[in-house]
Amino acid sequence: MELAVESLETPALTKAQLAEMLFDQIGLNKRESKDMIDAFFDLVTDSLVDGNDVKISGFGNFQIRTKAARPGRNPRTGEPVNIDARRVVTFHASPKLKEQVQTAVIGG
């Protein structure tokens, strides 16, 4: 089943729009659609918070990366500051997603 995204008014795809697509195209009621989208994102978030990578076949991988503390500087004042260690989420698109995006750019 293909979900049509062309009708979206904003350049960003929102959770509300995803829920609306489930309602329109799959036939779930609005409450079920919203709950399903929320459950999906909660599951992804919880997995990442727990330090687990999230792999979505044909889409890409969300990975947790630990960045060490390091010296930096305030770009406005040039004053040296310490940047604390932190965990960040990175996303790597799958080859299939990259190909689809590239084909859409080239194919118009």
pLDDT tens digit string along 25-34? Answer: 988 899 999 9
Residue 1 domain flag: no
Residue 64 domain flag: yes
pLDDT band at 8 (very low <50, low <70, confident <90, very high): very low
The reply to whether the predicted model has a pTM over 0.85 is no
Co-location of 36 and 69 in the same domain: no
Q: Which residue has the tokens 């790597």?
A: 92
Higher model confidence: residue 18 or residue 10? 18
Q: How many domains is the chain partitioned into structurally? A: 2
Co-location of 58 and 99 in the same domain: yes
Q: Which domain holds residue 62?
A: 53-108
Residues 53, 64: contact at Cβ < 8 Å? yes
